[in-house]
Amino acid sequence: MRVHLGSDHAGWELKEHLAVWLRAKGHEPVDHGPYVFDAVDDYPPFCLRAAEAVLTEPASRGVVVGGSGNGEQIAANKVLGVRAVLAWSRETAELGRLHNDANVMSVGARMHSTEEVIGFLDVFLSTEFTREARHERRIAMLTDYEQTRRLPELPATARRTTGGDEI
């Protein structure tokens, strides 16, 4: 599988290690930078490129790495069609794939050991989306919102009323 990688200075060393691990496991890492350590670089140019590349190759996945992974996840999720999850355990990586059909995993290099992150990534790459109707419905709502900016309808049980009048 092709795996698109992007990071910032805080994630650079881990990104480099993940590229080696991916190659050893038979995957094809594609590095979108940074290519050298630069203590004052910014993550958006690299993470946005990695996320964009995932969309051009639907069978691929992406991994974005920073100090906490938060900014990198936010950046990746700005790309319409990307569903990036912040993995902080094997379970969150797995659920991101099972329930959200996530195509990008974000991780914080300062939050986890290299071995932990490899475990998250291994699960992320080997888990398939369940295709259960409830999960497909939820993803469809998000996709529709991305494209139209129309909010999904509230379920009848979620509408607040006072004295019969809807608020």
Residues with active-site annotation: 72, 99
Cα angle value 107/43/36 (rounded, 5°): 95
Cα 27 from Cα 36, distance rounded (Å)? 22
C-alpha distances in Å from residue 45, one per residue of 5, 12, 121, 138: 12, 14, 22, 29
- Of 109, 25, 111, 115, the residue nearest 61 (C-alpha): 25
Q: Which residues neighbour 157 within 8 Å (Cβ) at sequence distance 6 or greater?
A: none
The two three-digit tokens of residue 156, written as one number: 């009848």
The rounded Cα 24 to chain-centroid distance in angstroms is: 22
User: Two tokens at 1?
Assistant: 């599988």
